[in-house]
Amino acid sequence: MRQVMTNTEHDRQQSELFTPIAVGSKTAPNRVWMAPMTRGRARQDATPTEVMVEYYRQRATAGLIITEATAVSAQGYGWLNSPGLFTDEHVSAWRRVTDAVHEEGGTIFVQLWHMGSVVHPDFFAGEPPVAPSAVRQEGEIPTPQSPQEPRALVTPRGLETSEIASVVDQFRSAFRRAIDAGFDGVEIHAANGFLVDQFLRSQTNLRSDDYGGSIDNRARFLLEVVDAAANEVGSDRVGVRISPTNAVWGIADDDPLTTFSRVAELLNDKHIAYLHVLEPITDEEHFMKPGLSRVRPLIRAVFDGLLLGNGGYDFDAATADLAEGNVDAVAFGTPFIANPDLVDRFVNGHPLNGPNPETFYTPGAEGYIDYPAWGDRS
């Protein structure tokens, strides 16, 4: 029997979300990418677990998966039960994840972070964390000694100029391990108030050496990390994530429009796979400081490469932004938590499962690998 397509179905399938796109030397089959999301299911020593293998396997139809933030070193590690990529055991455990995703035909980049000043001293036997400058960020965070009652962040120790190369080397080792673990590429986490973002923003970077002051100086650390990544994995397998207007952990810049459009311009010379901009299209305050102008349109104007948008998108908003040329692909966060088969649901217009925030960071399978695909509903 001939299948008859309704107008709405036809319109859905015309969405550019389903058009393949080149990412460096690979081609992503669609533009529905999975945003990085910390889920707290790793072991206490930062080794990925079996439930993580299943979680990422279930989501392999994403055009590209970006993993949860993964620590480059013990110095950069401070989120309970988040994963790392700084021991051989981490590499073998991640290999099980990448194998599973590849068996399903998927592509997976690992997001790599150093948390800088957002690590509580409990992780370091009482020593303060490191940062570009001794600027205390706002907020509280659970620690091994106090998992149920988060503890206030402290004033970090400003890095000596002579130490910075060794921090870049921590990233370099993780990039090398990412290849050993079978990842298709890496995403440098320069967003959300962690170490690279602390260097970029004027209110957390008060340095007077070559890594502080002018925007080009504040961007130097990021660019050195990008160069290290390009050397280890090839620039066409490197993504960078920024969040110009968010205020998580009280992070702030005096002039985000100028800072981040310049950062985007500087990245042009690096020929990276993509630039990922977290800047909500909705007025969600958590990821956007009220009163700031959006920076993404300016970045679009100056950045020559693939621009990945993220923040509050649904199918219609993503389709519209692609059609208007505002972004080249869209990363979906919370929709992917609750819908392992998000691409299929978008293609067919099926309703979405709603996510349960209470299990975003809790251990185990619940609220993690038990969200049903459309065909598995009971």
Which residues would be at the binding site for ligand FMN (CB under 6 A)? 35-38, 68-69, 111, 189, 191-192, 241, 278, 287, 310-313, 332-335, 360
- Token pair 């299209």: residue: 281
Closest contact distance (angstroms) between CB of 111 and ligand FMN is 6
Secondary structure percentages of the chain, helix, strand, coil, to 5: 40, 15, 50
- Give CA–CA dist 309/298, Å, rounded: 13
- Closer to ligand FMN at the Cβ: 337 or 347? 337
User: Measured from the CB of residue 223, what is the shortest distance to ligand FMN in angstroms?
Assistant: 19
Q: How far apart are CA 74 and CA 85, in angstroms?
A: 10
Smaller CB separation from ligand FMN, 107 or 246: 246
Cβ at position 2, least distance to ligand FMN in Å:
37
Return the H-helix or E-strand segment holding 197.
helix 195-200
Residue 336: CB atoms within 10 A of its CB come to: 23
Shortest distance in whole angstroms from residue 330 CB to ligand FMN:
8
The least CB distance from residue 142 to ligand FMN, in Å, is: 14
> Given the complex with ligand FMN, which of 36 and 48 has the nearer CB atom?
36
- Of the pair 117, 128, the CB lying nearest ligand FMN is at 117
What's the rounded Cα separation, in Å, for the pair 185 and 342? 22
- For ligand FMN, the nearest residue by Cβ is 333
Enter the tokens of residue 49. 């677990």
What is the nearest approach in angstroms of ligand FMN to the Cβ of residue 32?
11
The two tokens of residue 225 are: 């990390």
Q: Closer CB to ligand FMN, residue 106 or residue 309?
A: 309
Asked if 12 contacts 347 with a C-beta cutoff of 8 angstroms, the reply is yes
For ligand FMN, give the closer residue by CB, 83 or 129: 83
- Burial class (CB within 10 angstroms; exposed 0-12, middle 13-18, buried 19+) of 276: buried
Tokens read off for 249: 């952990």
Write out the two tokens for 192: 């959300």
